[in-house]
Chains A and B, each alone.
Chain A
Amino acid sequence: MRPVSAWGRLDAASHDVVSLHDPAKIACQITSKPRGIAHGNGRSYGDVCLNPDGVLWHTTGLNHFISFDQSSGRLVCEAGVLLREIQRLVIPLGWILPVTPGTQLVTVGGAIANDVHGKNHHVLGSFGDHVQRIRLLRTVGQTIECGPQDNADWFAATVGGLGLTGIIVEAEIQLCRVAGPWLATDTVPYANLGEFFQLADESEADWQHTVSWLDCLDARGRGLFMRGNPTDVCNRPDPQSRKRTMPIIPPVSLVNPLSLRAFNMAYFHLKKWRAGQAIAHYESFFYPLDNILEWNRIYGPKGFYQYQCVVPRDVGQDATRAMLGEIARCSEGSFLAVLKTFGERQPVGMLSFPRPGVTLALDFPQKGLRTQMLFDRLDGIVREAGGRIYAAKDARMPRSLFEAGYPRLSEFMKYRDSGISSGLSRRLMGS
């Protein structure tokens, strides 16, 4: 048994860690143990990837490519392969992962289990939209091959299924053509939420990637709208990646009202000053934090929560304004607050997070009751708006809000693997 914490570092509960590194042995490893949960690279923020006092099946040893057809862009790999490995392999060959989240340090299995989304949801949907086949191993020893056509019910349960339908051991992904590693980008400052929504509406037709940084202390909702398109610029040298590590865990969170105000002010004005068009490398555009190793330490020993919700578009502006008002009133929040619109697409998975609407994501240092009270007020706004909270980032939402936000939950429950349980499943599903 050893302590393991998730990316939010809220606590480090004791786990019996079992490494799954040989596909031939997995069936025997997962059937001979008490209930466990698959744990990839541990980038989920809360308890979706934890199983306090239980078994964790570490999957990062399942890190092999199996085949890649360069003419069709079909990639088959084991579930523990990091998205970064895929991107670095296929981009020079003219292919790219269609959808990736804001970090590429997640495993393929984790990306499927949380049906992650990226900046191009309005064009290409979520990760699960591009998965052609999953090999799922159940703890009873049964193997299920499923895809959008074959065993489609199992596929819909497993994509976004929070790792609760079985162990994802292998997947086949359809990649997209890309000219090279560069993007033509444009940064536009906006003064309030009305301008944000106008920019989002205008940009969706012409820009593949859109996202915005938001000054979470500004109740009007000023921010910077960033958009990008792949470009065939090719005569640029690859940027030198400079890796930095947050060397220590500071005794208290470095994110406090004072530092937050100073940072947000400086960031907004510096970026505003340098706004406009540019050419950016895909790694710095998509994954700005990946070169700052262990940045999650900056919130100090108590860790932090990330709150990400999505609310329908028609009430999106009012709900977002209300949430920002609550956050600004508490002077809480984070350096990185993200606001983005999702496209009009129905998600693949029964428990997939993305749905048409607008999504807001913010980090909050753990400050006990004060933070919980803020979350309660935000939950109220999300509930009233008919929205939902992202399980991959959650560590505290009430069960009733989960049930209200995910109407296909009872349908999903039929596909659960009885040998699998996580902190999140016990909290939100009772077992």
Chain B
Amino acid sequence: MSNTNRIVIIGATSAMAEHCARLWVQGKSVDLTLVGRDTQRVERVAADLRVRSPQSEIGVTTSDFLDPTAIRNTVDEIAARGVIHTVLIAHGSLPEQDDCQDNLEVCRDALEINGVSPVLFAEAFAKHMSQNNSGTLALIGSVAGDRGRKSNYVYGAAKGMVTRYAQGLQHRFANTGIKVILIRPGPTATPMTTHLVGKGPRMASAEDVARKIVEAIDRGQTNVYVPRKWAVIMLIIRHLPNSIFNKMDI
């Protein structure tokens, strides 16, 4: 197994992460560790990948995603099993903005699972990668993190935190053997967004987004918008003066 590509996915039941995993095992043998919160749900993903790639090693681990000690222990255990080549941190949940405004517990949970938790996982993996001076750490942010908008600024704030954190980590690991990749998907059709279908822009498919994520990781692109048109859209939105921005219902 020593020459096999070793990949860890945090939030392996997320639709984007799962499609990345399907691409990674396609026609190749990989050593994949799937980390999730619910054993039954992660096992379902693992069983599917084992059918797709019987020659691959598919491991399953569950952890508390909000407890720093549990996160540290989970990551240490995974790292103890050998050098990790790629980590994809993909978990998240999309809360209703109104619920976040009405209920501070919902608001806190959204900030923690979309912002704090990915940062803690990344930091725990960064420690091991810096010891080996190698590895690729990919984080899934969101276009929602580029500028706060009234329709989802709590989710956007958490994702904005991931964006800023990834920038710092990229700075820290510049000129080393470690690559930090930030992926910002636009609206994507996943179970998380089913209730939004038909209410906004046409959504990208999780398969297409996953393909772009896997390509970005292969190429070592550090900042990626998927689909690419979102780079232009967000460039405009970030630079719109408040006088115009405040009139927009977005």
Q: Which residues of A contact B (CB under 8 A)?
A: 2-3, 17-19, 21-24, 58, 61, 64-68, 70, 77, 89
Nearest CB on B from A87, distance (A): 13
**What DSSP secondary structure best describes chain A's contact surface?**
strand
Contact A67 B47 (CB under 8 A): yes
Q: Is the beta-carbon distance between B194 and A89 smaller than 8 angstroms?
A: no
Residues of B within 8 A of A (CB): 15, 40-41, 44-45, 47-48, 51-52, 54, 191, 194, 197-198
Chain B residue nearest to A2 (CB atoms) is B198
Whole-angstrom distance between the Cβ of B45 and the nearest chain A Cβ:
7
Q: Which residues of A contact B15 (CB under 8 A)?
A: 61
Inter-chain contact B48/A64, CB cutoff 8 Å: yes
A-B contact count (CB 8 A): 36
Give complex CA distance A193, B15 in Å: 51
A2-B197, A17-B197, A24-B40 known; A68-B51 Cβ under 8 A: yes
In the complex, what residue of chain A is closest to B47 when comparing beta carbons? A66
Contact between B40 and A65 (Cβ–Cβ < 8 Å)? no
Contact present for B41 and A22 (CB under 8 Å): yes
A68, B48: Cα distance in complex, Å: 10
30 of the cross-chain contacts (CB-CB < 8 Å) are A2-B198, A3-B198, A17-B197, A18-B194, A19-B191, A19-B194, A21-B191, A21-B194, A22-B41, A22-B191, A23-B44, A24-B41, A58-B194, A61-B15, A61-B191, A64-B44, A64-B45, A64-B47, A64-B48, A65-B47, A65-B51, A65-B52, A66-B47, A66-B48, A66-B51, A67-B47, A70-B54, A77-B51, A89-B51, A89-B52
CA of A74 to CA of B40, assembled, Å? 23
Closest 4 pairs between A and B when the two form their complex, measured CB to CB: A65-B51, A2-B198, A64-B48, A19-B194
Contacts of A64 in B (CB 8 A): 44-45, 47-48
12 further interface pairs, Cβ-Cβ under 8 Å (given A24-B40, A64-B47): A17-B194, A18-B194, A21-B191, A22-B191, A61-B15, A61-B191, A64-B45, A65-B47, A65-B48, A66-B47, A66-B51, A67-B47
Q: In this complex, what residue of B is CB-closest to A4?
A: B198
| B residues near A61, Cβ cutoff 8 Å | 15, 191
CB distance from A421 to the nearest CB of B (A): 22
- How near does chain A come to B44, taking the closest CB pair, in angstroms? 6
A24 to B47 alpha-carbon distance, docked (Å): 15
Q: How far is the CB of B28 from chain A (nearest CB, A)?
A: 13
CA distance A58 to B198 in the complex (A): 15
How far, in whole Å, are A23 and B38 apart by their CA atoms in the complex?
13
Query: CA of A130 to CA of B41 in the docked complex: distance in angstroms?
Result: 29
Residues of A within 8 A of B191 (CB): 19, 21-22, 61
List of A residues within 8 angstroms of B48 by Cβ: 64-66
Give every chain A residue within 8 A of B197 (Cβ-Cβ).
2, 17
Considering the complex, give the chain B residue whose CB is closest to the CB of A69: B51
Cα distance A68–B15 when bound, in Å?
22
Question: Closest chain B residue to A58 by CB distance?
Answer: B194
Residues of A within 8 A of B194 (CB): 17-19, 21, 58
CB closest residue in chain B, given A21: B191
Closest beta carbon of chain A to B219's beta carbon, Å: 22
Please indicate the chain B residues that have their CB under 8 angstroms from the CB of A66 in the complex: 47-48, 51
Taking the closest CB of chain A, its distance from the CB of B154, in whole angstroms, is: 23
